[in-house]
Amino acid sequence: MPLRARQCRHPFLAGLAGLAALALSVGLAGPAAAAPAADTWNEVGSDRADPLTESQGLASVEVPAGSPNRYTGIGTIPLSLSTRGWNHVGDPDASYDGHYIEPYQRDDGGAKMYRVQSPDGKWSEYVHTLGPGEALNNSWSAVSPDGRWMLSGEWGTMNRLLVFPTPGVNPSTSPSANLPLVSTVRLDRPVRDVQGCDFLDATTLLCSSDDPEGTLFGMTKPLLRIDLSAAPNGAADVTGRVTALRQLPLRSACSGGFETEGIDYDRRTGTLRVIVVSPGFCVLTDSKTYRFTRG
């Protein structure tokens, strides 16, 4: 599968991915809609993002109290997964009761996988068999505030988001059974290369797009807001109204193509965080996790 299809288009990260795999093998639609007047997200700071362990996604975990923020990157993929072909991890999320969920994909086969850590620390795997027309990509996961439903996304230009019962949380799920696709979010306009989404509230998503073209919303690398017609319930599709709020920061000592990665909204502090990977050699030095608060 080409790197673009695996959501890892940064050439330096692609090289790092190869080195990481080697180490493991030896045991190592027109103008954008106007943003809601009250929905302005202001940059308030940033932290360096490590290209090996913080280059794909991030999640705040509320339970148990005092849990550290979690990150994913090419260096966080366990050997036990990579040797079975699960070689790409996306943007994770956590339910409000402390279940932590990482989305995985592989270059072959007809399935994607969600790796779940329960609050007691135990890991389990939930595999979803692809349905007709479903893309192989598994870019991100976002758990609804009630914990019962998980949204996930595909790569490329898409007009939908996928809805699953939350693995490990929804009582209908089991590691020994196929994780079913139960409904979709039908978007009112297409989105491109969404790398992560998180719930702001029961009917509002914030998403990071790695769109390099800028033709959909009049800007590249936008922060998107998706307003749902109803909270997902797994019984029926809902619609989503897409709005571009702002361009994400693109600052580096190097010139070239940036890569927008995962997103997290921490409801405890009201802080939004988004990873942006720098171009070229600067992936090592000034890739950032940017912090925003609502204006």
pLDDT per residue as tens digits for the range 146-167: 999 999 999 999 999 999 999 9
Contact 264, 58 (CB under 8 A): yes
Q: How many distinct structural domains can be found in the chain?
A: 1
Cα separation, 282 vs 292, whole angstroms: 22
Residue 29 in this model has a pLDDT that exceeds 50: no
Chain centre to alpha carbon of residue 38: 25
Structural domain span for residue 228: 40-294
Q: Quick check: is 1 in a domain?
A: no
Q: How many CA atoms lie within 13 Å of 193's alpha carbon, on the beta-carbon side?
A: 22
Q: Quick check: is 34 in a domain?
A: no
Residue 200 in this model has a pLDDT that exceeds 50: yes
Residue 192 in this model has a pLDDT that exceeds 80: yes
In this prediction, residue 171 carries a pLDDT of: 97
Contact 162, 181 (CB under 8 A): yes
Report pTM. 0.89
Give the strand order in the sheet containing 41-48. 41-48, 288-294, 271-277, 259-266
Q: Quick check: is 28 in a domain?
A: no
Q: Quick check: is 25 in a domain?
A: no
Q: Quick check: is 20 in a domain?
A: no
| Residue 254 per-residue DSSP state | S
pLDDT above 90 covers a percentage of the chain that reads 85
pLDDT per residue as tens digits for the range 69-107: 999 999 999 999 999 999 999 999 999 999 999 999 999
Residue 32 pLDDT level (bands cut at 50, 70, 90) = very low
Chain centre to alpha carbon of residue 171: 24
In this prediction, residue 109 carries a pLDDT of: 82
Please compute the mean of the pLDDT values over residues 273-279 and round it to a whole number. Answer: 98
Q: Quick check: is 133 in a domain?
A: yes
Please compute the mean of the pLDDT values over residues 209-235 and round it to a whole number. Answer: 97
Contact 22, 77 (CB under 8 A): no
**CATH code (residue 234):** 2.120.10
- Tokens (6 digits) for 238: 């809902």
Greater confidence, 265 or 13?
265
Q: Quick check: is 8 in a domain?
A: no
Please compute the mean of the pLDDT values over residues 174-179 and round it to a whole number. Answer: 98
In this prediction, residue 18 carries a pLDDT of: 56
Q: Quick check: is 18 in a domain?
A: no
At residue 21's C-alpha, the angle toward residues 17 and 24, to 5°, is 135
Chain centre to alpha carbon of residue 58: 8
In this prediction, residue 175 carries a pLDDT of: 98
3-state SS record for 3-20: CHHHCCCCHHHHHHHHHH
Buried b (16+ CB within 10 A) or exposed e, 82-94: beeebbbbbbbbb
Residue 48 in this model has a pLDDT that exceeds 60: yes
pLDDT per residue as tens digits for the range 6-20: 456 666 566 555 545
In this prediction, residue 7 carries a pLDDT of: 59
Residue 279 pLDDT level (bands cut at 50, 70, 90) = very high
